[in-house]
A and B are shown apart, each in its own frame.
Chain A
Amino acid sequence: MAKENSNQDTPGSETAEKDLGNEVDDLKRQLLEAESLADERLDQLKRCRAELDNALKIAAREKEDHVRHASERIVSRILCVLDSLEQASKHDEGAKVLYQQLFDVLKGEGLVPIEAKGLKFDPYRHEALMQVQADGIEDGVVCDEIQRGYLLNSRVIRFSKVAVAKRDKC
């Protein structure tokens, strides 16, 4: 096109050439715009794909977690019954058997009591309800278990409610 134009050197073709030049500029600009829009869209598409991929990963992880801890809700709600049976078993032989039976069932589901008394207080397993002045027990050691805590498949489902020893300032 440009060659053709250069052969004809008439004033009329000059304006035509100018027009064509403008058109070319215009098209170039449009091409650039289209290209940048395409880049932007491609970028967004990639982000979307990455986002979907990540969301699926998170969903899969959460699902796995839910399956693993499916019994958590019901077991933690049964704990108060276990407590009551444990208290009752102190007075009643029948309750003692029932307590043992329920405990064994829950143990089969992965329930493990948290050790507390005599250990150093651990805020990731124990919850301190009070501090007591205790002679002969080291500072910061659990001196009394008020309510037993439990782990279910190595995750805490109830924190041990404990009293922590505090030594008088000597």
Chain B
Amino acid sequence: MAKIIGIDLGTSNSAAAVLIGGRPTIIPSAEGTSIGGKAFPSYVAYTKDGQVLVGEPARRQAVTNPEGTITGIKRKMGTDYKVRVYGKEYTPEEVSAQILRKIKQDAETYLGEKVDKAVITVPAYFNDNQRQATKDAGTIAGLNVERIVNEPTAAALAYGLDKVGDQMLLVFDLGGGTLDVTIMELGEGVFEVRSTSGDTQLGGRDMDERLMEYVLEKFRQESGIDLRKDSMAMQRLREAVEVAKIELSSVPQTNINLPYITADASGPKHLSVTLPRSKLEELVRDVVERCRGPMVQALKDSKLEKTGIDKIILVGGPTRMPMVQDFVKSFMGKEPERGVDPMECVAMGAAIQAGVLGGEVKDLLLLDVTPLSLGIETYGAVSTRLIERNTTIPTRKSQVFTTAADNQTSVEVNVLQGERPMAKDNVSLGRFTLVGIPPAPRGIPQVEVTFDIDANGIIHVSAKDLATKKEQKITITAPHKLNKDEIDAKIKEAERFSAEDAKRKEEIEARNQADTLVYTSEKMMKEAGDVATADQKDKIGKAISELKEALSGTDTAQIKSRTETLQNAIYELSTAMYQKASQQQQQQQSQQSQQQQSQQGPTSGPKDYVDADYEVVNDKR
């Protein structure tokens, strides 16, 4: 079944999105992205030679073709207005259809399939005429408009607020040239508009103008030249100012550098202005203040107090500015929702609505992720992860482990949740013991541990001895239902302790390596028999006892250096052993490779053996 796309048909910018794998994804514009992101300017141009240009190309030729270039057509939707271009008349529907047709083509290129259905968003205050006109524009573009959705509703959907329960929402949508404030009530999954207010002549463009004026004035004071008369310089400046404004949302200071901006009798002139964020904020303060009126009005019309609003959503590029965010926050006395790009959230919400209509979003298909990593405790109290956090469930993963001691007949599986490398810093979800492993030297038994998380988040952990096929399992039904804040705190904690944890993990690894080496060395000594000279035996014996002594202490550097000493002594012996007989050599080789494997760190493949051995439960050393 063909996909339904979601379209944010905006006054100054438009964008489209589609659900891919249940996740809204912005459809990239065919001619690449612009500074504002993946949205493109809502420009349509009819050229003298009969071409139709849409988006960036239309904007780029606007200067050469002012009579054929149309922008802001959304303001005329649902009216009798007609655009006259080179003797032909176009309705607002026809012009909007050009934008929608481009989106349809981009979507088809991106998805590699035909697209003929769409959900289109409109402002909450659009009347029936305007909505019908939008629908007609879709039809002209060859799109079957499955539904017209209010922009604030789409924004709320993008934030997943429809699932939170009954609440009152305020959507603050500040675009390039318009402000829309909408208060909506969400009850039983249905959004109902309580009030709308706004200003059709207020937006990011006003802010650009203020900034332009400031830079122009500053340049005039310094050079005595007024750039206003120089249309070329003005255009370069306009772009630089827009870039600077966007940059100032993330950095406290920026520069506008335009070399050779103009020239006078004394030679070329360069423009260089340093712009701190505080200056920008001072310049646009009154523009931001103008947002206050519509906010007050919307609250008044909805007969609500500020405290009656549960959630605030910010939409539109200018709401990326820290100053605008602070304004809304201090006015409402509440932190706005975060996490979705304000320029993309309307298109994304439209895509989610489209997914619902297309039957893609069903409870069964709403996939969840594991909020924290899951693993088991292994030798040295290390937490070995099997399933990384943010893995989409249902999922399943197996890994083969082995024993830590000779003749170990049981292993304990301690199921852990958390990001820290040491077991004790993570949460234990449950533990069980697999018994009846046939006695064998350490490293020989193969115990396969499998984690299986079903769609409901229930974790099934099983351990199976591959030799006897004996199996033991545990089911964890409520794996510590943490809320978002708790999960964030856990992740932050892991970040905070990462250096410390890494050090401890290194210590443990050094100990494990030393321990394995002592074991294999002792075994080798026994097997070497006559091959080893008394001198070699003495040397190795001494190195072993020294390393054992170091292991009883906590000096990691000492453990490491003595491990190296023993390793060198062992290499001498193994070299001698290889020189012995060819048959013996082969035997030794297989053992040697085993030893080496057990000396390396954990390997990642599920089929590989891992040196992270079990904690020993009831072995008799």
> What is the distance, in angstroms, from A162's C-beta to the closest C-beta of chain B?
9
Residues of A within 8 A of B31 (CB): 124
For the complex, count residues of A whose C-beta is within 8 A of B. 33
Residues of A within 8 A of B62 (CB): 128
Check if B557 is an interface residue, CB within 8 A of chain A.
no
> What is the distance, in angstroms, from A148's C-beta to the closest C-beta of chain B?
13
Residues of A within 8 A of B110 (CB): 58
Q: Which chain A residue shows the least CB distance to B57?
A: A123
B231 touches A156 (CB 8 A): no
Check if A13 is an interface residue, CB within 8 A of chain B.
no
Check if A101 is an interface residue, CB within 8 A of chain B.
no
* B21 touches which of A55, A83, A159 (Cβ 8 Å): A55
A155 touches B20 (CB 8 A): no
* A140 touches which of B64, B259, B360 (Cβ 8 Å): B64
Check if B112 is an interface residue, CB within 8 A of chain A.
yes
Check if A6 is an interface residue, CB within 8 A of chain B.
no
Q: A146 to B261, alpha carbons, bound, how many Å?
A: 10
Check if A87 is an interface residue, CB within 8 A of chain B.
yes
The residues in A between 32 and 64 inclusive whose CB is less than 8 angstroms from any CB of B are 41, 44, 47-48, 51-52, 54-55, 57-58
> What is the distance, in angstroms, from B20's C-beta to the closest C-beta of chain A?
5
- Binary per-residue interface labels of chain B (28-61) against chain A in the complex, 1 for a CB within 8 Å, 0 otherwise: 0001100000000000010010000100011011
Q: A155 to B30, alpha carbons, bound, how many Å?
A: 12
> What is the distance, in angstroms, from A97's C-beta to the closest C-beta of chain B?
20
> What is the distance, in angstroms, from B396's C-beta to the closest C-beta of chain A?
16
B364 touches A123 (CB 8 A): no
A123 touches B20 (CB 8 A): no
Check if A121 is an interface residue, CB within 8 A of chain B.
yes
With contacts A54-B20, A58-B20 taken as known, whether A129 is within 8 angstroms of B235 at the C-beta atoms is yes
* A87 touches which of B32, B48, B61, B260 (Cβ 8 Å): B260
Q: A111 to B365, alpha carbons, bound, how many Å?
A: 46
Q: Which chain B residue shows the least CB distance to A50?
A: B1
B21 touches A52 (CB 8 A): yes
A83 touches B231 (CB 8 A): no
A130 touches B60 (CB 8 A): no
Q: Interface size class for chain B?
A: 20 to 34
Residues of B within 8 A of A129 (CB): 63, 231-232, 235-236
* A57 touches which of B60, B112, B236, B257 (Cβ 8 Å): B112
A51 touches B235 (CB 8 A): no
- Binary per-residue interface labels of chain A (109-147) against chain B in the complex, 1 for a CB within 8 Å, 0 otherwise: 000000000000101101111110000000010000011
B232 touches A146 (CB 8 A): yes
Q: Which chain A residue shows the least CB distance to B19?
A: A51
> What is the distance, in angstroms, from A21's C-beta to the closest C-beta of chain B?
35
Q: A87 to B260, alpha carbons, bound, how many Å?
A: 9
Residues of A within 8 A of B63 (CB): 128-131, 164
> What is the distance, in angstroms, from B455's C-beta to the closest C-beta of chain A?
12
Check if B111 is an interface residue, CB within 8 A of chain A.
yes
Check if B84 is an interface residue, CB within 8 A of chain A.
no
Q: A55 to B364, alpha carbons, bound, how many Å?
A: 19
* A131 touches which of B22, B45, B64, B364 (Cβ 8 Å): B64
A130 touches B365 (CB 8 A): no
Q: A52 to B48, alpha carbons, bound, how many Å?
A: 46
Q: A99 to B235, alpha carbons, bound, how many Å?
A: 27
Residues of A within 8 A of B61 (CB): 121, 123, 127-128
Q: A83 to B239, alpha carbons, bound, how many Å?
A: 17
Residues of A within 8 A of B60 (CB): 123, 126-128, 159
Q: A57 to B45, alpha carbons, bound, how many Å?
A: 34
Check if B114 is an interface residue, CB within 8 A of chain A.
no
Check if A166 is an interface residue, CB within 8 A of chain B.
yes
Check if A84 is an interface residue, CB within 8 A of chain B.
yes
B64 touches A164 (CB 8 A): yes
Q: A154 to B152, alpha carbons, bound, how many Å?
A: 40
The residues in B between 298 and 320 inclusive whose CB is less than 8 angstroms from any CB of A are none
Q: Which chain A residue shows the least CB distance to B65?
A: A128
* A44 touches which of B58, B112, B232, B362 (Cβ 8 Å): B362
Residues of B within 8 A of A130 (CB): 63, 231-232, 235
Q: Which residues of A contact B (CB under 8 A)?
A: 41, 44, 47-48, 51-52, 54-55, 57-58, 80, 83-84, 87, 121, 123-124, 126-131, 140, 146-147, 155-156, 159, 161, 163-164, 166
A44-B362, A87-B259 provided; 4 other pairs, C-beta below 8 A? A48-B365, A87-B260, A123-B60, A163-B232
Jot down 10 A-B pairs with beta carbons below 8 A, ordered by A.
Answer: A44-B365, A47-B1, A55-B20, A58-B110, A84-B259, A128-B61, A129-B231, A129-B232, A130-B235, A164-B64
Q: Which residues of B contact A (CB under 8 A)?
A: 1, 20-22, 31-32, 45, 48, 53, 57-58, 60-64, 110-112, 231-232, 235-236, 257, 259-260, 360, 362, 364-365
Q: Which 10 A-B pairs have the closest CB atoms?
A: A123-B57, A127-B60, A123-B61, A129-B235, A128-B63, A128-B64, A164-B64, A55-B21, A130-B231, A123-B60
